[in-house]
Amino acid sequence: MRLSSSLISAVAAALVVAPSRAQTFDPRYPVCMHVYSGANGGGGEWYECSFTSLPQCSATASGRAATCDLNPYYPVNAPPRLRYRRSG
Protein backbone atom coordinates (compact mmCIF):
# COMPACT_ATOMS: atom_id res chain seq x y z
CA MET A 1 0.00 0.00 0.00
CA ARG A 2 2.80 2.35 0.90
CA LEU A 3 4.61 1.69 -2.37
CA SER A 4 1.51 2.26 -4.49
CA SER A 5 0.71 5.59 -2.80
CA SER A 6 4.30 6.74 -3.34
CA LEU A 7 4.11 5.67 -6.96
CA ILE A 8 0.80 7.51 -7.46
CA SER A 9 2.25 10.64 -5.85
CA ALA A 10 5.33 10.51 -8.07
CA VAL A 11 3.27 10.07 -11.25
CA ALA A 12 0.91 12.87 -10.24
CA ALA A 13 3.85 15.21 -9.58
CA ALA A 14 5.36 14.37 -12.97
CA LEU A 15 2.07 15.11 -14.73
CA VAL A 16 1.58 18.44 -12.94
CA VAL A 17 4.96 19.85 -13.92
CA ALA A 18 4.54 21.88 -17.12
CA PRO A 19 7.35 22.09 -19.65
CA SER A 20 9.11 25.44 -19.74
CA ARG A 21 9.22 27.45 -22.95
CA ALA A 22 12.06 29.49 -24.33
CA GLN A 23 11.75 33.25 -24.56
CA THR A 24 9.79 34.06 -27.70
CA PHE A 25 10.72 37.74 -27.98
CA ASP A 26 14.20 38.80 -29.08
CA PRO A 27 15.04 41.92 -27.03
CA ARG A 28 17.34 43.25 -29.77
CA TYR A 29 14.48 44.28 -32.09
CA PRO A 30 11.58 46.66 -31.31
CA VAL A 31 8.93 45.00 -33.54
CA CYS A 32 7.72 41.39 -33.71
CA MET A 33 5.51 39.63 -36.23
CA HIS A 34 2.99 37.17 -34.74
CA VAL A 35 2.48 34.43 -37.34
CA TYR A 36 -0.59 32.18 -37.19
CA SER A 37 -0.28 28.96 -39.14
CA GLY A 38 -3.42 27.26 -37.81
CA ALA A 39 -4.52 23.76 -38.74
CA ASN A 40 -3.80 24.15 -42.47
CA GLY A 41 -0.17 25.19 -42.09
CA GLY A 42 0.85 22.41 -39.73
CA GLY A 43 -0.51 23.99 -36.57
CA GLY A 44 1.02 26.37 -34.13
CA GLU A 45 1.92 30.00 -34.03
CA TRP A 46 5.12 31.86 -33.33
CA TYR A 47 6.71 35.28 -33.00
CA GLU A 48 9.42 36.46 -35.32
CA CYS A 49 11.26 39.37 -33.74
CA SER A 50 13.63 40.62 -36.41
CA PHE A 51 12.12 43.94 -37.49
CA THR A 52 13.29 47.48 -36.82
CA SER A 53 10.01 49.25 -37.69
CA LEU A 54 6.28 48.62 -38.00
CA PRO A 55 6.22 49.41 -41.78
CA GLN A 56 9.02 46.89 -42.36
CA CYS A 57 7.09 44.23 -40.43
CA SER A 58 3.81 45.11 -42.17
CA ALA A 59 5.40 44.68 -45.58
CA THR A 60 6.62 41.22 -44.61
CA ALA A 61 3.28 40.25 -43.03
CA SER A 62 1.29 41.37 -46.07
CA GLY A 63 -0.69 38.47 -47.52
CA ARG A 64 0.06 36.19 -44.57
CA ALA A 65 -1.93 35.27 -41.49
CA ALA A 66 0.20 37.52 -39.30
CA THR A 67 0.08 40.73 -37.27
CA CYS A 68 2.79 43.12 -36.17
CA ASP A 69 3.23 44.08 -32.52
CA LEU A 70 5.66 46.12 -30.50
CA ASN A 71 8.13 43.95 -28.63
CA PRO A 72 7.30 44.12 -24.90
CA TYR A 73 10.88 43.15 -23.98
CA TYR A 74 12.64 45.76 -26.09
CA PRO A 75 14.51 48.15 -23.78
CA VAL A 76 12.96 51.56 -24.48
CA ASN A 77 15.79 53.56 -22.93
CA ALA A 78 18.51 51.64 -24.75
CA PRO A 79 21.17 53.69 -26.50
CA PRO A 80 20.69 53.81 -30.28
CA ARG A 81 22.69 51.42 -32.39
CA LEU A 82 25.69 52.90 -34.10
CA ARG A 83 25.50 52.99 -37.85
CA TYR A 84 28.73 53.21 -39.70
CA ARG A 85 28.82 55.14 -42.94
CA ARG A 86 31.42 54.64 -45.55
CA SER A 87 33.06 57.82 -46.64
CA GLY A 88 33.57 57.91 -50.33
Q: What's the pLDDT score for residue 69?
A: 93
Q: Could you report the per-residue pLDDT of 3-48, keeping only the tens digit for each? A: 666 667 666 665 556 555 566 788 899 999 999 877 665 667 889 9
The answer to whether residue 51 scores a pLDDT higher than 60 is: yes
**What pLDDT was estimated at residue 80?**
65
| Selected residue with higher pLDDT from 1 and 30 | 30
**Phi, psi (rounded to 5 degrees) for 21:** -110, 150
The pLDDT value recorded for residue 15 is 56
DSSP code for 64: S
- pLDDT reading at 55 higher than 90: yes
H or E element in which residue 46 lies: strand 45-51
